[in-house]
């Protein structure tokens, strides 16, 4: 970040709202936080858009006054943060926003493939909750959009990793996707495939059983055929109650010959 005389500004929106200048937390009032967050998430916006977004219950004149006061107080307390171009407001492009970093990582992943920063993206996305505890309609919408982006990215990483034979990364990504949406069939299939590829059929079966039970409880449905087919042999043995046991060589009643018996 270039030195523009205002110091290094960093804004965190994931996990909690936090603004720092040269590493020191800057405390601003809730009204200013909402304005700063809106500009960080939505990008440059007209004043008319911002008043409708942030003060929808106010008359226009009162909403415009609230915006004017918020801009004035923010600019006085954190100079260089907001760029005021009359009708258009924006955050300075010198402000580092954690949400922008996640979005950029996702863009790079989509263009460059699984090798480009997958581990760091997985780590950053695991706990990427946007402004938890904020319940305004526009924030809830953005929270939901980020959740869907996370689901898509985790699923994409899992699928690509499986194709490359990286079952460890595939399993970790698929687990995160299932954590976001437990009934997302594609994510469940990827998780089962990753566990089978890792030689862990017990974990694959547990993932299937969790999915089957929740699908039955929530929707009264059974898993689709493509999901069951992944574990067909294991499920068949489980349903029939057949157990396989290898009797060691040397047992006198087998004449010293090993045998695979079904009970």
Q: How far is CA 30 from the centre of its chain?
A: 26
E strands present in 173-253: 244-247
Q: Is the pLDDT of residue 110 over 70?
A: no
Ramachandran sector of residue 39 (left: φ over 0; alpha: ψ -120 to 50; beta: rest): alpha
pLDDT digits (tens, 9 = 90+) for 30-86: 999 999 999 999 999 999 999 999 999 999 999 999 999 999 999 999 999 999 999
pLDDT-derived band at 113, boundaries 50, 70, 90: low
DSSP state of 200: -
In this prediction the pTM is 0.81
pLDDT digits (tens, 9 = 90+) for 204-219: 999 999 999 999 999 9
What are the start-end ranges of the H helices in the chain? 30-42, 47-54, 60-77, 98-112, 118-126, 137-163, 167-180, 185-197, 201-219, 225-230, 232-240
Tell me how far apart the alpha carbons of residues 175 and 154 are, in angstroms, rounded to a whole number.
9
pLDDT digits (tens, 9 = 90+) for 216-240: 999 999 999 999 999 987 877 766 6
CA distances from 156 to 58, 101, 110, 229, 241 (A): 43, 18, 9, 22, 37
What pLDDT score does 8 carry? 93
Domains of the chain: 9-94 (1.10.10.10), 99-238 (1.25.40.10)
Mean pLDDT of 128-137: 95
pLDDT-derived band at 262, boundaries 50, 70, 90: very low
């Amino acid at each position: 970040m270039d030195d523009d005389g205002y110091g290094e500004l960093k804004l965190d929106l994931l996990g909690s709202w936090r603004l720092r200048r040269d590493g020191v937390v800057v405390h601003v009032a809730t009204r200013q936080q909402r304005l700063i967050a809106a500009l960080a998430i939505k990008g440059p916006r007209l004043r008319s858009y911002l008043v409708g977004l942030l003060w929808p219950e106010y008359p226009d004149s009162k909403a415009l006054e609230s915006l004017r006061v918020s801009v004035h107080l923010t600019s006085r307390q954190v100079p260089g943060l907001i760029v005021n171009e009359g009708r258009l407001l924006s955050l300075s492009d010198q402000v580092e926003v954690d949400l922008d970093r996640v979005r950029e990582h996702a863009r790079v992943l989509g263009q460059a493939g699984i090798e480009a920063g997958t581990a760091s993206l997985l780590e950053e996305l695991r706990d990427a909750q946007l402004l938890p505890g904020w319940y305004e309609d526009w924030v809830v919408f953005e929270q939901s959009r980020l959740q869907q982006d996370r689901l898509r990215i985790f699923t994409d990483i899992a699928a690509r990793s499986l194709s490359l034979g990286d079952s460890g990364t595939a399993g970790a990504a698929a687990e995160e996707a299932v954590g976001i949406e437990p009934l997302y069939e594609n994510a469940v299939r990827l998780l089962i495939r990753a566990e089978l590829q890792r030689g862990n059929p017990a974990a694959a079966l547990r993932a299937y059983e969790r999915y089957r039970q929740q699908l039955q409880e929530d929707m009264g449905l059974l898993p689709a055929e493509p999901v069951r087919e992944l574990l067909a042999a294991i499920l068949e043995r489980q349903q029939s109650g057949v157990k396989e046991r290898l009797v060691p060589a040397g047992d006198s009643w087998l004449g010293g010959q090993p045998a695979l018996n079904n009970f």
